[in-house]
Structure 1
């Protein structure tokens, strides 16, 4: 938080119901990502504190932010999910000084505003570290939405983590577009993922909102790389998944010398999307998900308002040290990540929190 934060007293410390206005970004509340995480956190908080949630769910990019003015009436707290809502949040905050306004992923202006931002580079470092440890080809990929600071934090963290685990590994990167439409373009994401696979990339991390479905679809269409199709001069260097049970469909499609392909999910736990045969006991193609705990951040701010905790204008940061980011390990991917590797990840996480590993942010 800024040292010059302006503190607004909210009253007594007694918990009280809070009416929350929640403005989604494009993709809506069921985007299996950023919006969904915010909504789940709000639901959890309202269940604990009382009150109600009113939402604005844009159907087109031009509608993002348009519902915030209406949400400003009758709600004590208005939350805009995603940086695209920030201008509208700032404008509404100036018109409604007694209402609290929050932007997730950006910092609005006004002493009744707050930005909830994340150290995505920390969680992405862990995702890259895992990819670097387990890649079969020594080539991993990152697909971002567009060239903006928040996406760059994902990218540089992932690249640094992969290099930390595997200095000789190559990290291929690409952005989907140069407008916010890049966050809802799974077709182009799939095309990029396909080109990366053609170049021997076997693990792809996508931070591009609803576009990430395109990467999942490409992994589903091409669940393995075959030795005879690898680029000239590239050979398989390991097989971390040799003992993982595989479905009959996978064995048929990937007969011969081959290695599985994987996506890494983002924002919420997307591991289950890699269960292509609907059997968690066989190999999953979601290696892990980098959880950007928007749910925890939204839950935290609603609880603070409900409890009457003093309001701090400015930036509130969430990372590994305070439950803001993490990797998802569950029944879908536990067989892919051995106990030894899980322990290595925990060791690296402690080093990051303790300052022993410095992660770039841009």
Structure 2
């Protein structure tokens, strides 16, 4: 039988073991709390972005930028007050940038599109401690304070691809192009598109039209629809729109023409920047995607990781910066042989066997 003294000693032994175990775990827990506090940033960076005209719901250039921005907010430790704004006019663009650099005190300021980005050189020089991102314009020559990262795309290569696709799908031998604002950047799309179409069919005719010469051209679907209807009624059966929110008018016109067609002739359109195939899947045969979302996301990622460089980067076919969109919405439009031909053209561009004309480098005298 166990004596009272033996039982008492056993209790003391067990209590000592449990106390030591608890103290060790409390110590480990305290250490883990200290470690977690060290890894949690004290001051999260504030990221602010100014969109181009047309708004965040243009299903195109701006929307792609917003997607990249929102994904970055979810994935990275940035200030919850980080935000993007939608300017309605030029004066608002100036006000937003001034506010972001001063009272709002943003650490990284992003300009989406060449119009907002044109404000960055002066701003960057005035506020050298800030970092800036310009999307869709090369700022190498204007980066005096060495605090601007600029990103452009090889949109002429992607446009060559969808031009080839337009020629493949056209039965009339006439295709069209409708741009938003008549500026060199959009001319670059047009030049690549026309060259791609003529690569497939040297006799094809390419009609062109522009919504306007001011920034409002990006947000005028009614005008774009009018231009598209005019081209379709003249025999065009495929139109590539590069017009931001105005491009919705091109899609509407193709849909209207198909409903009115008594000869069962098909009228098609091609989207731009974002994958727009889903918007009107019976009309849009493909989209020339331009990964603005990746440009924004990767830049924010670099900034948070202290890897942000103030240089110029070009996105193209090789890195998926531009491409043609093929998915469940438009696969019905293509045969296996056509897909093979499209991918062959893409490969030839990437390997240099096809040289796509670049409007920026053409002799325009």
TM-score class normalised by the smaller sequence: 0.7 to 0.9
The 8 Å contact of residues 53 and 215 in structure 2, kept in 1 or not, is answered as: no
The 8 Å contact of residues 172 and 235 in structure 2, kept in 1 or not, is answered as: yes
Deviations 1:100-134 (A, max 9, x none): 11111123433101221111101111100101111
Deviations 1:82-115 (A, max 9, x none): 1111232222212221111111112343310122
For 1:354, the equivalent position in structure 2 comes to 351
Aligned partners of 1:201 and 1:130: how far apart in 2? 14
Q: CA deviation at 1:147?
A: 2.7
For 1:327, the equivalent position in structure 2 comes to 324
Which deviates more from structure 2 when the two are superposed, residues 54-63 or residues 104-113? 54-63
Q: Which runs of 5+ in 2 are unaligned?
A: 1-38, 360-365
SS at match of 1:181: helix
Deviations 1:166-198 (A, max 9, x none): 111111111121222211121211111111011
Candidates 331, 336, 355, aligned match of 1:339: 336
Aligned partners of 1:177 and 1:15: how far apart in 2? 50
Aligned partners of 2:314 and 2:257: how far apart in 1? 38
For 1:222, the equivalent position in structure 2 comes to 257
For 1:245, the equivalent position in structure 2 comes to none
The 8 Å contact of residues 124 and 147 in structure 2, kept in 1 or not, is answered as: yes
Aligned partners of 2:280 and 2:314: how far apart in 1? 31
Q: Which runs of 5+ in 1 are unaligned?
A: 1-13, 224-249, 276-283
For 2:21, the equivalent position in structure 1 comes to none
Aligned residues: 311
Aligned partners of 1:96 and 1:210: how far apart in 2? 33
Deviations 1:210-243 (A, max 9, x none): 11011111112111xxxxxxxxxxxxxxxxxxxx
Paired residues for 1:106-117 under 5 Å: 106-108=137-139, 109-110=142-143, 111-117=146-152
Candidates 243, 267, 270, aligned match of 1:261: 267
SS at match of 1:126: helix
Deviations 1:135-179 (A, max 9, x none): 011110001123322101110010011011111111111112122
1:186 counterpart = 2:237: no
For 2:47, the equivalent position in structure 1 comes to 20
1:74 counterpart = 2:105: yes
Cα distance change of structure 1 residues 147 and 15 upon mapping to structure 2, 3 Å threshold: farther
* Greater relative CO, 1 or 2 (CA 8 Å, sep 6+): 1
For 1:11, the equivalent position in structure 2 comes to none
Q: CA deviation at 1:274?
A: 1.4
1:88 counterpart = 2:119: yes
Aligned partners of 2:192 and 2:92: how far apart in 1? 32
SS at match of 1:258: coil
Cα distance change of structure 1 residues 160 and 217 upon mapping to structure 2, 3 Å threshold: same
Cα distance change of structure 1 residues 76 and 148 upon mapping to structure 2, 3 Å threshold: same
Paired residues for 1:146-157 under 5 Å: 146-157=181-192
Displaced runs of 4+ in structure 1, greater than 3 A? 14-18
**RMSD, aligned CA:** 1.9
Paired residues for 1:1-362 under 5 Å: 18-52=45-79, 53-72=82-101, 73-108=104-139, 109-110=142-143, 111-223=146-258, 254-255=261-262, 257-275=263-281, 284-309=282-307, 311-313=309-311, 315-362=312-359
SS at match of 1:297: helix
SS at match of 1:222: helix
The 8 Å contact of residues 147 and 178 in structure 1, kept in 2 or not, is answered as: yes
Query: Which has the greater radius of gyration?
Result: 2
More helix by share: 2
Aligned partners of 1:37 and 1:15: how far apart in 2? 30
TM-score by length of 1: 0.81
Cα distance change of structure 1 residues 120 and 15 upon mapping to structure 2, 3 Å threshold: farther
